[in-house]
Amino acid sequence: MVGAYLAFYSERGIDGRPERFCNLAAWCVEEGYRSQGLRLLRAALRQKGYHLTDFSPSGNVVPLNARLGFTALDTTTALAPNLPWPAWSRARVVTDPREIERVLTGRELAIYRDHARAAAARHLVLVAGARTCYVVVRRDRRKRLPLFASVLHVSDPELFARHGRLVLRHLLLRHGVPFTLAERRVVPRVPGPSVTVAGRPKMFRSPTLRADQIDYLYSELTCVAW
C-alpha closest to that of 197 among 73, 56, 77? 77
Q: Residue 38: helix, strand or coil by DSSP?
A: helix
Share of the chain above pLDDT 90, in %: 90
What is the pLDDT at residue 184? 97
Provide the pLDDT confidence category of residue 7 given band limits of 50, 70 and 90: very high
Provide the pLDDT confidence category of residue 58 given band limits of 50, 70 and 90: confident
What is the pLDDT at residue 37? 85
- Span 195-201, average pLDDT: 95
Provide the pLDDT confidence category of residue 48 given band limits of 50, 70 and 90: very high
Please state, as a whole number, how many other Cβ atoms lie within 10 Å of the Cβ of residue 6. Answer: 13
Provide the pLDDT confidence category of residue 226 given band limits of 50, 70 and 90: confident
State residue 122 phi and psi, 5-degree precision: -120, 135
Provide the pLDDT confidence category of residue 76 given band limits of 50, 70 and 90: very high
Exposure string (b/e) for 143-169, b if CB count within 10 Å is 16 or more? eeeeebbbbbbbbbeebbbbbbbbbbb
Torsion of CA 62, 200, 11, 108, to 10 degrees: -170
**pLDDT digit string, tens, across residues 81-106:** 999 998 778 899 999 999 999 999 99
Provide the pLDDT confidence category of residue 185 given band limits of 50, 70 and 90: very high
- Span 153-173, average pLDDT: 97
Calpha distance 224→25 (Å, rounded): 9
